[in-house]
Amino acid sequence: MFPKAAGLSHTRPSPFPEIHNVSDTLGIDPDIADVIKRIGPCRLRGQDGATPYQALLRAITGQQLHGRAAEAILGRFKALSDGDFPPPEVLLSYPDPTLRACGLSAAKILAMRGVAQARLDGIVPGREEAARLTDEELIARLITLRGVGRWTVQMILMFTLGRPDVMPIDDFGVRAGWKTVKKLHVPPTPKTLAAATERFAPHRSALAWYLWRVAGEGRNWANPLTGDVSASPPTSP
């Protein structure tokens, strides 16, 4: 399970609206039906309490770091603003030495400043605007930012915005899970996985959760957002 992020609401909202009906869609495939029977109901929940701006800052902080290191750096960063994410104008006012003292690299500082400026410019939406945008509209908008790729936005779509039909085809764990379920010799290419999973719309976020579970069976699981290792894959950030 993802570690709780300090400064965010930890009250869990309702699961995705369709989450209890996913077996009807995913179960059309006998192999996936077997996985559902073995693992049980999908426990994926979205809406972790963060705004898109906060989720982006958290994701950038955690890049290429193990969970504890990422949380320590994030904690020091948020301590600059009384334990919460600083508003974008406040973040832009911090001198580089102050941010470096938190443990942030020069590249991450540039990326986080870019996110802050993009929030002020209206590129990074608030919750209400994000709710009006499609998944692809959000991806197209946010991948223009330094240090933000398609996979990062997809994780935000799933775990911050609660979008039910996201298939992160570039995710190694998802591809490894599909390889295991389908008894393949090698993981599918992203293009192949995208085509193979189209029929599971509109519940591909739940499918990804099951594939993460399959890939993590029998070994520790690395949190895809922070790198934190635990005995089970994510239910939410």
Compute the distance between CA of residue 55 and CA of residue 180 in angstroms, rounded to an integer: 31
Task: Return all residues near 3 (Cβ < 8 A) that are at least 6 apart.
Answer: 67, 71, 223, 226, 228
Catalytic member of 29, 48, 165, 171: 171
The alpha carbon of residue 66 and the mean position of all alpha carbons in its chain are separated, in whole angstroms, by 15
Compute the distance between CA of residue 166 and CA of residue 157 in angstroms, rounded to an integer: 7
Instruction: Kindly state the tokens that stand for 196.
Output: 């193979």
Letter string b/e over residues 156-181, b meaning 16 or more CB atoms within 10 A of that residue's CB: bbbbbbbbbbbbbbebebbbbbbbbb
Q: How many residues does the chain have?
A: 237
Query: How is the chain split among helix, strand and coil, in percent rounded to 5?
Result: 55, 0, 45
228 part of the active site: no
Active site residues: 171
